[in-house]
Structure 1
Amino acid sequence: MKIKLNEMIVFIAFIGLFLIFSVTLHNVGVGFAHISNLMNILRQTCLIAIMAVGMTFVLAAALIDLSIGPIVGVASLVCALLVESYGIAAGVAGALLYGCLAGAANGVLIAYLNMPPFIATLGTQTVWMGIARTMTNLKAVPITNQTFLDIFGGGNLGVIPSVFIWMIIIFAAGYIVMKKTAFGRRTLAVGGNPNAAFYSGVKIKKVQMQVMMICGVLAALAGILWSGRFGGGRYTLGEDAGTSVIAASVLGGTSMFGGKASIPGAIVGAIMIGMIDNALVMYGLSVHQQMIVRGLVIIVAVALSSTQEKSVK
Structure 2
Amino acid sequence: MTQTQPATDGTPGGAQARRRVFLRHLLRGERPYMLYIAFAFMLVVFSFASPWFLSVDNFLNIGRQTTLVSIIAVGMTFVIIARQIDLSVASTLALSGMAAALAMSFLYNSWIVGAVAGLGTGAVIGLINGLLTTQLSIPSFLVTLGTLSAARGLALMVTNTKPVIITNEYYFAIFGEGSVLGVPAPIIWTAAVVVGGILLLHFTVYGRRIYAAGGNPTAALYSGVYIKHVTTLAFVMTGMLAGLASLVLSARSHAARPDVVQGMELDVIASVILGGCSLFGGRGFVLGTLLGSLIIGTLNNGLVLLGVSSSLQLVIKGAIIVAAVAFTRR
Counting only pairs closer than 5 Å after superposition, residues 206-285 of structure 1 correspond to structure 2 as 206-285=229-308
| SS of alignment partner, residue 260 of structure 2 | coil
Q: In the alignment, what sits opposite 2:41?
A: 16
Deviations 1:127-172 (A, max 9, x none): 1111111111111111111111011122223431110111111111
Deviations 1:194-236 (A, max 9, x none): 0100110100111111111111110111011110111111112
Give the Å deviation of 1:96.
0.8
Structure 1 range deviating more: 277-286 or 185-194: 277-286
Q: In the alignment, what sits opposite 2:200?
A: 177
Q: In the alignment, what sits opposite 1:32?
A: 53
Structure 1 runs not aligned, ≥5 long? 309-313
Structure 2 runs not aligned, ≥5 long? 1-27
For 1:198, which of 221, 238, 245 is the aligned residue?
221
Counterpart CA distance in 2 for 1:304 and 1:9 is 7
Q: In the alignment, what sits opposite 1:104?
A: 127
Q: In the alignment, what sits opposite 2:164?
A: 141
Counterpart CA distance in 2 for 1:185 and 1:54 is 15
Letter in 2 for 1:78: A
Q: In the alignment, what sits opposite 1:123?
A: 146
Q: 1:41 aligned to 2:62?
A: yes
What TM-score do the two structures reach when normalised by structure 1?
Answer: 0.92
Residues 223 and 238 in structure 1, CA contact (< 8 A), matched pair in contact too: no
Identical residues among aligned pairs (%): 37
Q: In the alignment, what sits opposite 1:75?
A: 96
| SS of alignment partner, residue 31 of structure 2 | helix
Counterpart CA distance in 1 for 2:325 and 2:221 is 28
Letter in 2 for 1:77: M
Counterpart CA distance in 2 for 1:269 and 1:61 is 19
Residues 50 and 170 in structure 1, CA contact (< 8 A), matched pair in contact too: yes
Q: In the alignment, what sits opposite 1:311?
A: none
Residues 226 and 237 in structure 1, CA contact (< 8 A), matched pair in contact too: no
Counterpart CA distance in 2 for 1:286 and 1:132 is 31
Residues 176 and 248 in structure 2, CA contact (< 8 A), matched pair in contact too: yes
Residues 10 and 265 in structure 1, CA contact (< 8 A), matched pair in contact too: yes
Residues 72 and 242 in structure 2, CA contact (< 8 A), matched pair in contact too: yes
Residues 250 and 301 in structure 1, CA contact (< 8 A), matched pair in contact too: no
Larger radius of gyration: 2
Counterpart CA distance in 2 for 1:253 and 1:91 is 35
Q: Which structure carries more helix by proportion?
A: 1
Number of aligned residue pairs: give it: 302
Letter in 1 for 2:162: K
Give the Å deviation of 1:5.
6.5
